[in-house]
Each structure stands twice: as C-alpha cells, then as structure tokens.
Chains A and B, each alone.
Chain A
C-alpha cells in the first residue's frame, strides 16, 4: 500500500471536501459568520424543568403543549432568532428558551406563569390595524382620533368597566400588527373585560367579556375528520358536569345574539385562538367546533383545549442574562486566548520540528479554517450556536490536533533513528502513527459524544466542538499532513537533511553507515 500511495489524490480529496464546505457554508445559508451563543452576544437563556401535577413527570402531549405555549409567549417578544427547544427525555426533560439581545427580566418571568384558557363572549371584533370598527358594544360611539399612550397599547389589556372611555380608545388605537401576539405577559384576570389580538393572520382584535368557562371545565378535546361532506377538520369537545351546565346556559344566551356577539373567544394565554359562532344552545356537554381547520390546526387547538390550563409547573433551573457588553468582552477574550494559544503552539512546533513544524502549522491553520466553515454550515443547517464553552473546546482542541502531528513526527524521527532513509521513514512512520492517532482520537471522540448526549445547556456546546474538531483532525492528518510530508520527502532539500529540515539524520543521531548500506 505504501508503494502505491499517491499523495496528490489525498490532497485532491481534501480540496473537494473544502470546496463543498465553502459552498455549503456560504451558498445555502443566510449567515456568513458562525451563529453566536447568548453568552457572546448578550441575551437571555432560561432552562425550565416541567413538573406535572403532584411531581409526576410530564407526558409527551403535555410537553408539546407547554412548548407551544412558551413559543407563543417568546414569539410575542418579537425577537428574531429566539428559540424554544427541549433537551433530555423522560423525567430529565428540560425546556431551553433562548432570547438573543433581550435582557429584560420581566419578560422572562412571564415565561413560567401558568397559562390560562377561557371562553369569553365576543363583544366587538375589528381588523387588527385601526381603520374601521365593524361593531362596538351597543351604546358606545367610537371617538374619531384616539390618542392613547403607546405603553397602554400592548395587549392583552383588561378593565373592570368596558364603558370606560379610555378603554374604548385603547380598543380603537390598538394595532395588532405591531405585536407578535402578546407582549404583556399573561395577566389574564377572568373576571375582567379583555382587549386582545387574534392568533391567525390577518390578525383581528377583540373586545371580550369576562370569562364564562375556563380550561378546568373541559374534560377532553379531540381533533377529527369532518363528519359530513366538505369543510375542514373539526374538534370535538366534552365538558365536565359543572362545565356542561355553564356551557348550556351561555350558549342558550349567545345563540340569540347578533354577530359578533354570538361568538365565543377561546382565549389561551391572553390570545384568541379561535372565535367559533354559537349556532344553537348546547345542552348535553358535548360540542363540536367546525371551521376551515387543517389537520394540524385542529390537532393544536384540541391540545390547547385539553391542556390549556397548563397542568405543568415550570421550575427555573437556570436563568442567565448576559448583557451585550459582557457578551462582547467574553467573545474578545475568547478570541484573544485562541490566537495566543495558537501562536504559542506554532512557535513551539516550528522551533522543535523546523520544516516539519511548518507542515504542522499549515495543517493547524487548515483545521481551524475547516472548523470555522463547519460552524457556519452547522449554524445555518441545524442552528448550531457557538458559545463561550464551545470556543474553549476549540482552543483546547488546538493542542489535541497538534498532538496527532507530534505523534506522527516522532514516529517518523524514530524511523530515521533506526537508520531508514527519509522516504521509507515517512511511509513506515505513518503506518505506525496512524493506528495511534486513530485510537487516541477515537477515545477523545467517545468522550465528546458521551458528554454531548448526557448533558444539558452549556456543556453541549463544548462537547460538540470537541467532537467536531476530533473528526476534522483525522481528516487533516490523513488527507493533508501525510501527503504534504510525503511530497516534501521527495524534495532534494529535505533529503539532504540540513539542520532546518527537522529530519536531519545527524541531529537525530542515526548511524551514518546505514545510509549507505540501505
């Protein structure tokens, strides 16, 4: 194998991989730099532990509903690139919420408040952006030019007295397009009137009466195929005994009202999920909501109805808020440490291994570039974010990557000490070093994988970079360092074995006579 080894082929393979990486990193994605984690750009990260009633672990349904509610709240902050993810499984499930750039504590506190679901009578509906009002509560005339301080215009807005002129003004001035969904937390007082926005686009705004039913009145909700002919999916609702009697009473009243006051606003977390019209009094405690629901919409609404009251307590495991200034400081310190560390390693390698050391330096720089490209690619593809711990992992990996070159070079020099000539030493040294490099890298990789899968939060970033660099190390050592040393070994200068080559037989103390003997 050693005889037929063609270094140029390896280099070509590496070049193709590199080009693919460059194309992948810069062509497909939306970002040309690695995505930075919150500890480097500022922002808030909360790790929430969901706990079911009585300390039980949460079911998958409950979890997905919880995540949906949190996502709805986070989207309400209107921050781009916010993310809500789950990590771990079973009793160890965590919900990780990341909101870049935002460090307002109130917003974060609102995340863990219990979600409320209730049914309210619709008193008025209007297009989400102020223009015309299709209907108001009887007796109320719209004021022409409402001037309301902007801070009041964050839904949901509540009052005990819907006839308060200020409240009416707010309803007129409210612009739902300005708010993702909700921005004011979830202070949904069931006994008060409510002004808020709808969930679906185009957003409508609603004036709603105090709640008639709450989430605890609902026994079950399921999504199903439409029973008769056309129309979308539908949701069947069954109510508890007390819920059924409340529902009967309300529907009896609503069925006789005019549009839009014959509608229910189903409000979750201060947002109107759906506004079904009541066609008739529903007495049996079983109702069906029909409409143009897709299967997924129906499924989501059914889950919201069933778990709306959020039977899950969210404990804050870890909440960290990093100001953009501190984030920036940390980023610069980490980069400085990386540069400095790389420089030290380069100096050592060049001083000790001379020309071979230069090969190692170029290999290191190549590995670093490949790592950078991978960060961009993975950031675009799987949303990988680079955290402080991640950068630390990369810096530590400089040493581990350089170690595999050291292993190879020392092997090579061992072969020269045995009296082999350079070209055969290069091949034999590699054959022996290869196994060691693979075994050692495998152990590092194993440690990284285990760390990644058994941890939550920051640790993952570190483990991920460490694992990634190990893989890159193998690629670089096999497809770059080895062929490069091979090509160098063909050069007359290296074969002369001057003191700068790092492979001088004299300096290595190889017996001179064997040179001739071989």
Chain B
C-alpha cells in the first residue's frame, strides 16, 4: 500500500513519470489489434446468446437430496412431456437446469409438471422461464436505442462541461470499451443474457467516470497554458495522467472489489444467472475502461489538440525556450526508458509544476 502511496507522491511531483502520451502508437496498436480481433470474432463466431435472445424455455429444479441430481432423469422427463432438452446442467449442489427450444405456454406447463414428478417434488418448486422469440430482439433494440441516446446526451454534456475535443476523445474511448468487452464475450464464448446487456450499458457510465476524473485534471493543468511557454499541452496532459494515476488505480480497485465479490458468490452459490452475467460484464468492462481512460482517451485528446495552430505554436515556443535556456533544464522533456518508469531527482520539474499552478 505504502509503495503505491510513495509512487503516488513521486508521480505527483513528477519525479517519476511515464510517457503515456508519447507512446501512444504502442497503445493504439494494442487497442487496434484487440478491436480487430473483437470485430473479427463477432463477425465469424458471433455471440453466444442466451435463451432470452433466441427464444426458449429454461427450468430449474431444486432437487431434494444431492444424490438425486441426475441429468438423465431430467432429460427423460422433458422428453416424456414432448419436448427436447437442448442442455441439462447441474447448478450448485442440488439444482438442475434444463433448457429447451421455444415452447408454447401449454407445453411449458407440461414440462414443469413432468420435471416435478420425475424429481418427486411439487410443481411450485420448479422455477421456469419461458421467452418468446421476439423478446430478445426487443431487448437488443432497446439497448441499441439507449446506447445512441446516451452517446448523444453525453457528447453534449462533455462538450458543454469540457470542450468538444474532450467529448470526442471520451466517446472514442467509450466505444472502444464496449466493442472490446463485447469482443471478449464473443472470443471466450460467455453467454449473453439481458443481464449481460445491462452490464454492457453500465460500463458506459463507469468508463466515462474514469475519463471525467482524468480530463478534469488535464483541464486544470492546461488552464492558462497557452499564454506561457513553460510546458506544452502534451506535457501538461501527460503530467495530469501521471498525477491521477494512483487515483485511477484506486477508484478502479474500489469499483472492482464489489463486482469481484458478486462474481465469487455468484459462481460458488448460485451458478449461472443474473448476478454472474451482470458482474462478469462489469468486471471485463471496468478493466477495459480503466485501460482506455489512461492509454486511449488522453492520447487521442492530445492528438486532436495538437492540430490546433495555437497549440502547435505554443509547443514550439516551449521548445525554443528550452534550447535557449540553461543547459541543465534540457531534462525537462520527459525521458523515456524501456522500463517505463524513470525515477530520480528532477527538482526542476517540480518547480515547473508549482509555478504553472501559481501562475493560474
């Protein structure tokens, strides 16, 4: 813990720094590879859709006595009711789950009764879910609509609260997160249920939460920057990233812990279901979201900003000032190393930070 704290101190003062922005090509390539893989897998294999999307029925029987949990009995019971079980799984220790293709309501009742008598339990002990074939399409349609409305409103909000380059960068990171998360689902073959879709949509809010925190610091560091010549926009943004790095790590850990807890309890106690589906989507999405708010959002922001002539002019002013300046201050440009984190006394940089603040 205190090591992370120490790192936080050094990052804040700029003693330790990592050039996130300068190495953007690396992140872009990593992300592009993931995106290509995601889209490719989605196109080829598609998602493993749950019965909610395909239409179908699912029954869960709580079997009295763990020794009676028997897959064949369940299969036979379903067949005797005139249906075919597409999958039979044992869930937890004493539950059995049967899935079938779409059934009529009447037939579904028959299956319920047949399962109840096969496992010598009451009809009311059999949980079931019957989903019409159009339901899933509607869920997806609603989700897509929600996504579009959300993106538009958030773009407006971010443009208003920050500025349009930040809105654009934030949304790019967001789309990146959702695509990769969905891609991981396609790749691994996790089942996609409505709960998963809720998870995907929640990632939207969360991914932006992280980005907003970083951008707020970027904005603070770059306020009044263009009138001075101490630091370029790129450097100020990178410093903001480093300064908020510990915060990003902490908020991510704190957000992931409860999700992890849902996932653990869900897997051990319940087996597949709402809790697991939701938590898994969130878990994957939050990890990707943390990555993108650091490695994708800010580099894109800097790239857009550097197209602005005023920002370019200021950057060259900074450059020339450094050339003309004292020899020892040439170290002010961030140093990259293959190990990433460079440590060591850079008192000059600390002063710069502080003076840029007080100059505000």
Residues of A whose CB lies within 8 Å of any CB of B are 39, 42, 47, 49, 92, 102-106, 108-109, 112, 315-326, 329-330, 332-334, 336-338, 340-342, 344-345, 348-349, 351-352, 388-389, 392, 395-396, 398-400, 402-403, 406-407, 410, 413-414, 417-418, 432, 435-436, 439-440, 442-444, 446-448, 450-451, 454-459, 462-463, 466, 507-509
Contact = CB atoms under 8 A, between A and B. Distances in A.
Interface string B198-224: 100110111011001100100010000
18 contacts: A39-B274, A109-B106, A319-B108, A319-B128, A319-B130, A320-B127, A323-B62, A329-B270, A348-B253, A352-B4, A407-B251, A414-B243, A432-B220, A446-B154, A451-B201, A457-B194, A459-B139, A507-B9
Contacts of A432: 220
Nearest to B357: A418
A341 B261 contact: yes
Interface in B246-279: 246-247, 250-251, 253-262, 264-266, 269-270, 273-275, 278-279
Given A315-B134, A317-B135, A351-B1, A333 B266 contact: yes
Interface residue SS majority, chain B: helix
A199 B90 CA distance: 47
Interface size class of B (residues with CB under 8 A): 35 or more
B327 to A, nearest CB: 26
B322 interface: no
Nearest to B2: A507
B52 interface: yes
Interface residue SS majority, chain A: helix
Contacts of A319: 105, 108, 128-131
A52 to B, nearest CB: 15
Interface in B54-110: 60, 62, 95, 105-106, 108-109
B112 interface: yes
A322 B135 contact: no
Nearest to A411: B247
Contacts of A318: 52, 129-132, 135
A463 B251 CA distance: 21
Contact of B109 (A109, A317, A334, A400): A109
Given A329-B270, A417-B13, A410 B142 contact: no
B28 interface: no
Contacts of B192: none
A503 B357 CA distance: 22
B149 interface: yes
Contacts, number: 260
5 tightest Cβ-Cβ pairs between the two chains A and B: A341-B258, A447-B205, A399-B255, A341-B261, A105-B109
B330 interface: no
Nearest to B259: A396
Contacts of B243: 414
Contact of B279 (A316, A392, A457, A458): A392
A181 to B, nearest CB: 22
Given A109-B106, A435-B216, A323 B124 contact: yes
Contacts of A342: 258
Interface in B222-254: 243-244, 246-247, 250-251, 253-254
Given A337-B265, A444-B205, A407 B109 contact: no
A459 B194 CA distance: 8
Given A410-B244, A443-B209, 7 more contacts: A108-B105, A348-B254, A396-B255, A402-B254, A410-B250, A418-B354, A440-B209
Nearest to A336: B265
Contacts of A338: 258, 261
A341 B357 contact: no
A333 B13 contact: no
B201 A406 contact: no
B118 interface: no
A102 to B, nearest CB: 8
Nearest to A499: B2
A210 B102 CA distance: 38
A436 B109 contact: no
Contacts of A103: 123-124, 126-127
Contacts of B198: 389, 451, 458-459, 462-463
